[in-house]
Structures are given as structure tokens and as C-alpha cells.
Amino acid sequence: MKIASWNVNSVNMRLPHVLGWLAAHKPDALLLQELKCTDDKFPLAEIEAAGYKAAVHGQKSWNGVAILSPHDITDVRRGLPGDDTDEQARYIEATINGLRVASIYLPNGNPVDSEKYPYKLRWFDRLITHAKGLLAQDIPVVLGGDYNIIPDARDCHDPAAWAEDALFRLDSRRKFRSLVHLGYTDAFRVMNDEDAQYTFWDYQAGAWPRNNGIRIDHLLLSPRAADRLKDCRIDREPRAAEKASDHTPIYAELEMK
């Protein structure tokens, strides 16, 4: 199975790119983030015409996550448990061919002197609690998406410039490590040990042509999924397209029995 994640930064604006990527790569699951539309505005007809089903958790103008698959998408959970007052559409989870997958759009957290940063840390705590519960079920799980976390200095073109950013602050990275240390595997780092491998390049200051990027999109695998890992790659090609998202897809291939 090929499992991919992509923050598309508006699914309707990037729809031609999404449809092209589906046709070229034929993933068994594509986890989308930052849809920036409500469920009724999601381009379901176009996605279905491409041979894919969709489970969507949208929000007007902001956030929004989805799971696309040519296979049946079952047992869908919309929203991260732990806070019934949280109305932001940042989490969706489902089962596809025996694999439990989640599309995650973790809060950015900037500016750090606002309520946005404590919200990011609280949201991460809820994710850790839920991820621990998934592990207890002893099933193959992939938690994929835009984590808005730079795990290490090697995942950033200029660590000093990001030192006090919510994506790289020590508290943020500790949360990410706590999640991994539950027993999840950073699929990309298992298969790739090179520095300067990024999934996001800002639109400003020539970041893309200079490769001034950061790695913030991750696929975390439970032990039963990690045992099946064959490959994990970042596909840089979509970032070079006209009117591209500022993120590019990351995908893993699993040998499912």
C-alpha cells in the first residue's frame, strides 16, 4: 500500500495538482490537510471521477482535513478526542484495507506569546493520549500529516533563524519526541539519512529555488505498520509547479499481508 500526505493549502485551488498526482502515483490513501473549505464545497465529484472515495472534515476558509482512497473508507472518526469545545477541523481517522490512517493538521502555534502556542501544546497532548490508545489496539496505524514541527536541526535550512518559532521551540520538539517514544516510527528517517530534506518552502524570499525549506510533514508508523515499511520518500516535483502549494507530498510504501 502507498500512503501519502499532502498539505494542499486550499484543495479547490490546487485541484488540478491533486488530480494529476493521484493519476500519476495511484496512492491507496492520500491524506490531505488545509482544505480551506466546508464539506459541501469539497470537490467530491471530481475526486470520485478520478476513481477515489473521500472522507472529509472541513471548515470554512481555514483548516480542514480529508482522506482519499480508491478502496472503502470505513469507521471514520472526525475530530481529535479530548476537548469537546474545540471546533477546529484538524483531525480525521479511518480504516482502509486493515490499516488505520489519520490525516493530521497540527496547530502552527505562532505567535508564541499568544494563546495559539498553548493551544498547540494542548492539542499535541491530546494527540499523544489518542495515539497511545491506538497502540493499545495492536493494529497497523499511520499518523500522517502536517505536524508543524521541525524535529531536528538537520530538518531546517537555518536552525538559528527558527530557534524561537513555535515549529522549532524546545517544548514543541519535546512533544513530537514524546509521541515517537510511545513506539511510533518516523518513516522518512528510517529510509533516508540525508540532511536538507524538506517538505515545505515559504513563498517568500526565494525559499524554493534556494532550497531554504523545513521538514514538517511526517508519516509516523505504529510497530505493526513499521514492520511493513518498504520505502518513504518526499516528492519535490509538485512544489515546482505553477501555483503550487507551499508543501509537497510525502509518501510511504507498506507491504500489507
CATH number of the domain that residue 82 is part of:
3.60.10.10
Return the pLDDT at 205. Answer: 80
Cα–Cα nearest to 231, from 215, 252, 250, 256 = 252
Provide the strand spans (E) within the chain: 2-7, 29-33, 53-57, 65-69, 74-78, 91-96, 99-105, 141-146, 185-186, 200-201, 213-214, 217-221, 229-234, 250-254
Strands 2-7 and 29-33, bridge-based pairing = parallel
Per the listing, cell 513499521 goes with 226
Q: What is the DSSP letter of 231?
A: E
Range of the domain at 99: 2-254
Reading the chain (257 residues) residue by residue, the pLDDT tens digits are: 999 999 999 999 999 999 999 999 999 999 999 999 999 999 999 999 999 999 999 999 999 999 999 999 999 999 999 999 999 999 999 999 999 999 999 999 999 999 999 999 999 999 999 999 999 999 999 999 999 999 999 999 999 999 999 999 999 999 999 999 999 999 999 999 999 999 999 999 899 999 999 999 999 999 999 999 999 999 999 999 999 999 999 999 999 87
Query: Cα(74)–Cα(134) distance, rounded to whole angstroms?
Result: 16
> How many domains is the chain built from?
1
Return the pLDDT at 207. Answer: 96
Cell numbers found for residue 30: 492520500
